[in-house]
Structure 1
């Protein structure tokens, strides 16, 4: 009964500020969820029991990159469970575990001193949470400090994913985890601090896997329950401020100090930590250490009075307050959620999103079918993209009714997607710049397919597509094409329209693997794209037999989505069909020649870009090489018919000097025309 009364007092204490932040309905929802009876733990969790035996040893390094600092005051079973979870989910990064015993009233220190790998620091007197954290940091040897509550249990990748923020996000000073309750509900997805100094933990009691909480972003603060900071920054800002001793508000203060020093505070959803909130200090805000929550709030407001004037106003809805002020917001809509192993268009769009994230844009994405897998959501979340999808998000018309007025730009990808949504976007996002991303000119591809096959019906379809695509370009504020050939075609056809060239975007991986260590040929392309179907059949039926008459040892590797019936027709000696693969690297680094035998199509060919970014020389047809700044004999070998194509492959396969020359020139081509730097300049100009 006493426990229920404490919970009720705690909840009633929060009602006033909660009504201010979320409104009365949101407050009642939180109270109802908290008082609702739930299982103690989510059935899918594999949490460490509190009565298990000691771990035999902890991970330990003499030269740690990360120092994990765990302050404790009693509660030994929770500390042991926390340590066992760290041992079970060992990190890739070298680490040390420092446990700071803050004069525990139980036998914690004696028990922990017997655990191999734990660096135990005993405080002579009780210093409180802040004093213990600072003491642990004082003996830490790592480049990074990771403060972790002893009433937590970590999950796979928790530490390495926090570390990734410092590698992938320029200016990152602090990174924090997604916190969940043992019963499975979300506890925190980054914190909000309002202009009056009141704090709000975003997402509390919501579903932990809702896409709203699964994308990396800058936040006001992250909880000290799992917080990583560079040791250099921690020392420079003086550690946790002792004015907040023994505890509370110190994590908010640290975040404000980091941001005052010009560093970013980042929420990392892929670092998931289970936190048994209230074990260390209780939940009653009027008793024990917890009473300092109110006392320290006053100190925090006094210290950061000027900075708080730049924080969200108290009545601003949470969904708006969580977004960093000053960021522009873009909505991107494509046919499908991008998946880089599926097609080159996906890779291009993902890399465009990466650049937008670097340029400080807030990015929201929706696929036309509103579907996205967990892996796709995680991939986009890693580059700061909020994915709208079933069943968690509203349909686009409803979403635009709520958020359209705040959009600065909308990118509609592919003509049939743009045609469907353009009128809606114009009505509900009136101040947004609307960009039509053609991906490639659909009508040009259809026109060339009709010419290749002599199909009159397809020729009529190409004319209809042309009318639709050109009309869309006139109706949008700007259009994107991937090829200089398409760019010039549109400049001639529509001189009044704003057209920008934004081609494929690739990292330059460089050449790995010597000529003599490489074997075989590789073609990358799925059967969802008609030009690939024609190319594979031409390759297997007419080109490969000519190659194998001269060199029967040369094997062709086919990579991409190929249906079972097509596999049967393509199967023959010397042809290996791998289907779609997650990582092309083994073939990019192990094969000797890449092939692009396309006989029609449009746009820029990602299969060529990908090979060249690895320094893998390419034999292609002129139509495949179109618009890619490629010159026969300098950075590619070109051939139009089966006989000359096979001859070019055999020549390149046997000539190491030619191979090295083309390899070097291929890498330079990617650097000059298809790099992130080139695309970044286009995006800056487009969205200025």
Structure 2
């Protein structure tokens, strides 16, 4: 295939789903990245194989073209050759697996950027450890079946955006050859002027926010219902907890028990109002990865979070003794009630969390600028052993996926 020239500052974003910033933290993250690329003068096309989302952002109003693409279909090759994008951004490693071989074939001069959102293999390995009742160790991560797929994607991309410093440390510790292919780009959220927010005395009730398609959130809700909320109610008999989230499944909706102060509300179109009224957000996450948008957003709206160490990972270190973090049900309930009842403890927790959250609420796109500058550096800056591994993984994976994809396409079209 001949090698077409690329069109400068033309960006194709391949999303695992369409952005839903009012429903998911991942949606907030990708919208921040899109705004950054727009500010830098990129013409953007957002493509996805996903069906319509219930809470999709209006990309067209931002001047971003939306295109529905198909898996295992040569129509995508024709689309690439006609558009000649200079930069491709994969939203999560799964889209890199599905489409990067076609892009390398059709647009060999394009640069490939992967935003991990979070390390999926890390999240799943932690869930497995919780399910089996054991303490998670890095060796569990390496044994997870997704680990090698995800690491291979990171090698094949030209550069990878990592959202969490702990994840940067894990990656460089376990796979040091990746070091030159990683750049730390925080969660990212443009600051909005909040004006005057309610103080301690003007607030009441607990709140939990969590998208129902994200398994750590579902686990946390079940932990709240079965283990933590009964303990809180025993200490605070009139306490009330409101649970909000898009796509909450039926078994979660059925947990709604107003007489127990446990209210499952569903999707909230305006989190500003929810965060503005509650006194304490509770986030008893037992597993996960990345950075928790719910903690960052709550702090921005003047609401402190009572969370596990997992909830604060990538935001602040809770390994010391702090009044707003605990990892057992008894300690969590006791500290949550103490935080709820004492204004000085509440104000101190909020101050600490706002300071750390501010590092993720940026008025500029300097971290993204750094990533783009790294992409423009000569490829020689990558060590030769990394380059060899990168080419080997591309060759092996692209050959395997290429023939499988063509076989699937032929089968679907009824060809022999």
Superposed, which structure 2 residues align to 1:435-474 within 5 Å? 435-454=113-132, 463-474=144-155
Q: TM-score, normalised by structure 1?
A: 0.49
1:504 aligns with 2:187: yes
* Deviation of the 1:357 alpha carbon: 1.0
Name the Cα RMSD after superposition.
Answer: 2.6
Match of 1:487 among 168, 180, 205: 168
Q: Secondary structure at the match of 2:144?
A: helix
Which secondary structure does the structure 2 equivalent of 1:669 belong to?
A: helix
- The 8 Å contact of residues 630 and 636 in structure 1, kept in 2 or not, is answered as no
SS in 2 for 1:533: helix
With over 3 angstroms needed to count, the CA separation of the structure-2 counterparts of 1:386 and 1:594, relative to structure 1, is same
Counterpart CA distance in 2 for 1:450 and 1:615 is 34
Counterpart for residue 609 of structure 1: 296
Q: 2:76 aligns with which of 385, 396, 416?
A: 396
Aligned partners of 1:443, 1:373: CA distance in 2, in Å?
Answer: 25
Of structures 1 and 2, the one with the larger relative CO (CA 8 A, separation 6+) is: 2
Q: CA deviation at 1:635?
A: 8.3
1:37-59 Cα offsets, whole Å, 9 max, x none, are xxxxxxxxxxxxxxxxxxxxxxx
Q: CA deviation at 1:508?
A: 4.0
State whether residues 255 and 264 of structure 2, in contact with CA within 8 Å, keep that contact through their aligned partners in structure 1.
no
Q: 1:125 is matched with which residue?
A: none
What is residue 408 of structure 2 aligned with on the other side?
none
User: Match for 1:328 among 2, 5, 9?
Assistant: 9
Q: CA deviation at 1:551?
A: 1.5
Shift in Å, 1:384: 2.9
User: Does the Cα contact within 8 Å between 1:597 and 1:621 map onto a contact in 2?
Assistant: yes
Distance 2:130 2:8 in 1: 48
Matching residue of 2:25: 344
Once residues 644 and 460 of structure 1 are traced to their aligned partners in structure 2, the CA distance between those partners, rounded to angstroms, is 28
Would the alpha carbon gap of residues 686 and 390 (structure 1) be closer, same or farther in structure 2, given more than 3 Å must change?
Answer: closer
Residues of 1 paired with 2:323 and 2:60: CA distance?
Answer: 37
Q: Which residue of 2 aligns with 1:376?
A: 56
> Paired residue for 2:388?
none
Tell me how far apart the structure 1 counterparts of residues 212 and 52 of structure 2 sit (CA, whole Å): 21
User: Aligned equivalents of 2:343 and 2:32: distance in 1?
Assistant: 33
Alignment of 1:477-626 (within 5 A): 477-497=158-178, 498-509=181-192, 510=194, 512-560=197-245, 561-572=247-258, 573-626=260-313
SS at match of 2:276: helix
- Per the alignment, residue 652 of structure 1 pairs with 339
CA contact (8 A) 1:337 1:367 kept: yes
Give yes or no for contact 1:368–1:417 (8 Å, CA) kept in 2.
no
Q: CA deviation at 1:454?
A: 1.7
User: Is 1:422 matched up with 2:103?
Assistant: no
Provide the C-alpha distance between the structure 2 equivalents of 1:612 and 1:445, rounded to a whole number of angstroms: 24
1:499 and 1:398 map into 2 onto residues whose CA distance is: 31
CA distance 1:618–1:364, change in 2 (3 Å): same
CA distance in 2, matches of 1:329, 1:462: 38
Q: Sort the Cα spacing of 1:635 and 1:667 in 2 relative to 1 into closer, same or farther, 3 A.
A: farther
CA contact (8 A) 2:315 2:357 kept: no
Task: Extract unaligned runs of 5+ from structure 2.
Answer: 1-6, 135-139, 374-416
Structure 1 pair 634/353, CA: closer, same or farther in 2 (3 Å)?
farther
CA contact (8 A) 1:486 1:603 kept: yes
Q: SS at 2:243's partner residue? A: strand
Cα distance change on mapping 1:636 and 1:526 into 2, 3 Å: farther
Counterparts of 1:608 and 1:450 in 2: how far apart (Å)? Answer: 24
CA shift digits 1:409-448 (9 cap, x unpaired): 1011122211010101111222211012111111111111
| 2:21 and 2:56 in contact (8 A); partners too | no
Look up the match of 2:156: 475
Q: Secondary structure at the match of 2:43?
A: strand
Count of matched residue positions in the alignment of Structure 1 and Structure 2 = 353
Deviation at 1:666, TM superposition (A): 2.4
Deviation at 1:402, TM superposition (A): 0.8
1:385 to 51, 64, 76: 64
Contact 1:521 1:593 in 2 (8 A): yes
Confirm or deny: 8 A CA contact 1:350 1:380 kept in the other structure: no
Q: Is the 8 A contact 1:332 1:410 kept in 2?
A: yes
Greater percentage in helix = 2
Kept in 1, the 8 Å contact 2:48–2:69? The answer is no
CA offset at residue 455 of structure 1? Answer: 9.0
Q: Which runs of 5+ in 1 are unaligned?
A: 1-325
Q: TM-score, normalised by structure 2?
A: 0.79
CA distance in structure 2 between the aligned counterparts of 1:649 and 1:332, rounded to whole angstroms: 41
Q: Distance in 2 between matches of 1:665 and 1:566?
A: 32
The whole-number CA distance in structure 1 between the counterparts of 2:133 and 2:104 is: 37
Give 1 or 2 for the bigger CA radius of gyration: 1
In structure 2, do the counterparts of structure 1 residues 677 and 500 end up closer, same or farther at CA, with 3 Å as the change threshold?
farther
Quote how far apart the aligned CAs of 1:365 are: 0.5
Aligned pair partner of 2:362 in 676, 682, 687 = 676
Contact 2:189 2:361 (8 Å CA) reproduced: yes
Match runs of 1:82-97 below 5 Å? none
- Give, in whole Å, the separation in 1 of the partners of 2:104 and 2:133: 37
Mapped partners of 2:159, 2:177: distance in 1: 11
Q: Deviations over 1:451-481 (max 9, x none)?
A: 111299xx79963211111111111101122
Cα deviation, residue 599, structure 1: 0.6
Would you say the 8 A contact 1:508–1:670 is kept in 2? no
